[in-house]
Chain A
Amino acid sequence: MSEQDPKSRAIAEIRLGPDLFHLLCWVASAAAVATLGLIIYEIVSGAWPAMQKFGLGFLTSSSWVPNRENFGIFPFIIGTAASSFIAILFALPLGLAIAIFLSENFLPLPVRQVVRFVVEMLAAIPSVVYGLWGIFVVIPLMKIFGAWAVSTFHGVPVLETLFAPPAYGNSMLTASIVLALMILPTLTAISRNSLTAVPGTLREGAYALGATRWEAILGVILPTAAPGVVAATILALGRAMGETMAVAMLIGNSSRLSWSLLSPGGTLAGLLANQFGEAEGMQVNSLMFAALILVVITLFVNLLGEAVLRYTQNQTAGIR
């Protein structure tokens, strides 16, 4: 018996174990796929009453008055787009500069490693801590800057509109600046990867023709890496649009549209964070509808980014 024991165990392992395990793996895969389907199904069915009641007018209406069951998310769509674009505006030059800095040898390797570590750390800090920091550091600074900007740009066309009084601390600008910081790691990491994927022979080629370092960077390396940088920007945009807590804590959560960057605004994610906990009835349905719009936008942006990234990888494979 003692001799047969291991053998019979092995047989069990061959017959029962494998099939069950195979099945389990299949079930897990199906569950993973079903998750996305279920998310969309749940959100759509939650949003359904609101979709029927408001239709597309939900997207274009600007009034959000829960106790009158009046729901429209136009200001939040604009706010989501605006805060993300402004964040990209700040983060792109910075992220590109860091990506170039990390892929060149301006300073010795240890210094570069410190900067790289710092950027990675930025990614690890929880959103809510950015929010807390924003409340106590960025908002006071923005109040000072806002007062200065209002008086300085008074009478200057365009700028006068963008920096119109009153200057709040909780504003579109404050949220965008903190957002920029939060998407910097995404932007930097992908840009840096596409820069270092540029074959060294191209750099040598440029130098051998008498290019300075920056002529090589701007004329050859960056153009070659450009699709990757574009992908990085799109993916960072997707992150910024879905970012919730820091924005909710800093943007002021107003549904009033304003051209002034110093005015409060609102985003779709912020709207969900603020109201879901206490919502009832049609408000829940409307929030579900808003969530659906947010999912559609971010999925679209992310798919676009992934597509560009894949195109990039194929293209650099062609250069080698």
Chain B
Amino acid sequence: MDSIVTHAPDFFSDTKPGSTKLISRSLWNRILSFFCVGLSLLTLIPLVSIVYLVLKNGLPLLKWSVFTELPPAAGMVGGGFGNAVLGTLVMVGLGLVISAPIGILSAIYINEYAPSSRLAQAVRIVAKLLTGIPSIICGVFAFAVVVATTGAFSAYAGGVALAVLMLPTILLTSEQALLGVQHAFREASYGLGATKFQTIVRIVLPDALPAIMTGIMLAVARAAGETAPLIFTALFSQFWAKSLSEPTASLSVLIYNFSTVPFPHQVQMAWTASLVLVAFVTLANITAQLVFSKKH
């Protein structure tokens, strides 16, 4: 029994008799954990600060009238940003009308018709590359294609820029959505004598629809918040747009313009516009998550 007692210490203790280390291994372990948790919680600070300031500075001016009135001229008070809200909605809508068919149809092509064709491989690579392209490049592209050829800044140009921005998101999420459709469904459909077209339209697409909608909502959320693609395509306007071929206001460009002026009222309006924009983007993101989780 004696031998046990003399044995026990070096058996169960990690500090070696001759150890000269100041900090034991377990203490190191605790210090690192502490740092890791501390650093992680640190990220809460900026987000809380952003949300708090957007609410605090944005809420006072948030009335129904800001959605119906035009932006105040320099140094003036009152007004709103109705034209910017409308402009954002119109241009995001335009972008969607262009990008959604292309994105969804090419996803169908690369997943259902010719998954291993050279065109399909090219589509996949291009979609990946497009996600990595800076959003301002979408603006440069729309400038060259629309503004330079028509000679005018317009909602069309803004819509084209946003379409390029949204395309890869919609394409890639649609591809994932189609990939997620069980193969057994397709086989069952073929087994009942359906053609490929019937199978895609009646079986595959309905099943993939929620996930495709998620992709669309994510793309909408992202496009609505973007400024760079609009800043020199749609430019800005103090007035209600009468057509799609004239300079058009948007929430994000309004925030940009008003954030750097020396008039407190305009700055506060920038905060209010931020509040509306953040609320819209968050709502779109949450909707995307909800639509998605409904299926999974």
Q: Is the CB of A28 within 8 A of B274?
A: no
* B200 (CB) vs chain A CBs: closest residue: A21
Q: Are A273 and B47 in contact (CB under 8 A)?
A: no
Partner of A128, one of B47, B50, B101, B225: B225
> Which of A63-71, A142-150, A153-161, A242-250 lies at the binding interface?
A242-250
B45 CB, nearest partner CB in chain A, Å: 10
Report if A54 contacts B (CB, 8 A). Answer: no
Q: How far is the CA of A57 from the CA of B270 in the complex (A)?
A: 41
Which A115-151 residues have C-beta < 8 A from chain B? 115, 118-119, 121-122, 124-133, 135-137
From A101, A126, A235, B37 is in contact (CB under 8 Å) with: A101
Q: How far is the CA of A60 from the CA of B120 in the complex (A)?
A: 40
B139 to chain A, nearest CB (A): 7
A147–B153 alpha-carbon span in the complex (Å): 43
Q: Which of B16-37 contact A (CB under 8 A)?
A: 25-26, 28-29, 32-33, 35-37
Hey, what's the 0/1 contact readout for A266-289 against B, CB within 8 Å counting as 1?
000100110011000000000110
Closest A residue by C-beta to B127: A32
The interface residues of chain B lying within 8 Å CB-to-CB of A118 are 43-44, 47
Given contacts A18-B195, A131-B256, A137-B53, contact A125 B278 (CB under 8 A): yes
Q: How far is the CB of B163 from chain A (nearest CB, A)?
A: 9
A36 adjacent to B105 (CB under 8 Å): no
A198-206, A207-215, A257-265, A312-320 - interface stretch: A207-215
Q: Is the CB of A124 within 8 A of B195?
A: no
Asked whether, in the complex, the Cβ of B256 is within 8 Å of the Cβ of A106, the reply is no
Interface size on A, residues (CB 8 A): 83
B 127-164 binary contact with A (CB < 8 Å = 1; else 0): 11111111111011101110010000100000000001
Bound: A269/B167 CA distance, A: 21
Contact check, B53 vs A133: say whether CB atoms are below 8 A apart: yes
Partner of A212, one of B29, B133, B200, B256: B29
Q: Which residues of B contact A302 (CB under 8 A)?
A: 128-129, 131-132
Do A13 and B53 touch across chains, with their CB atoms under 8 A apart?
no
A128 touches B252 (CB 8 A): yes
B39 to chain A, nearest CB (A): 4
Contact B106 A129 (CB under 8 A): no
Nearest-neighbour CB distance to chain A for B71, whole angstroms, equals 16
Q: For B221, list chain A residues within 8 Å (CB).
A: 124
A300 to chain B, nearest CB (A): 10
B285 at the interface (CB under 8 A from A): yes
Q: Does A295 contact B (CB under 8 A)?
A: yes
Whether A115 contacts B32 by the Cβ 8 Å rule is no
Residue of A93, A97, A135 touching B259 (CB-CB under 8 A):
A135
- Chain A residues lying within 8 Å of B33, measured Cβ to Cβ, are 106, 213-214
In the complex, which residues of chain B have a beta carbon less than 8 angstroms from the beta carbon of A135? Answer: 259-260
Does B77 have its Cβ within 8 Å of any Cβ on chain A? no
Is B164 within 8 A of A132, CB to CB? Answer: no
CB nearest neighbor in A for B138: A39
B168 nearest CB neighbor, chain A only: A32
| Cβ-closest chain A residue relative to B41 | A115
Closest-CB distance, A219 to chain B (whole angstroms)? 12
Asked if B43 and A127 sit within 8 Å, CB to CB, the answer is no
Question: Does A14 reach chain B (CB closer than 8 Å)?
Answer: yes
Does A25 count as interface, using CB distance less than 8 angstroms?
Answer: yes
Interface presence of B282 (CB below 8 A)? yes
Q: Are A276 and B232 in contact (CB under 8 A)?
A: yes
Residue of B nearest to A306 (CB): B128
Q: Is the CB of A13 within 8 A of B198?
A: yes
Question: If A97-B40, A133-B53, A244-B135 touch, does A29 touch B282 (CB 8 Å cutoff)?
Answer: no
Residues of B within 8 A of A46 (CB): 140, 144, 148
- The reply to whether A126 and B252 form a contact with Cβ atoms under 8 Å apart is yes
Instruction: Say whether B109 contacts A29, CB under 8 Å.
Output: yes
**A43 in contact with B126 given A127-B227, A212-B25 (CB within 8 Å):** no
Q: Which 10 A-B pairs have the closest CB atoms?
A: A242-B134, A126-B225, A302-B132, A28-B105, A18-B197, A25-B109, A97-B39, A101-B40, A276-B232, A244-B228
Sample of 11 A–B contacts (CB below 8 Å): A13-B198, A17-B201, A18-B195, A21-B200, A21-B201, A25-B108, A42-B145, A125-B281, A128-B255, A244-B135, A245-B231
Known: A18-B196, A124-B221, A235-B132. 6 other contacts (CB 8 A): A46-B144, A101-B40, A104-B36, A129-B50, A241-B134, A272-B139
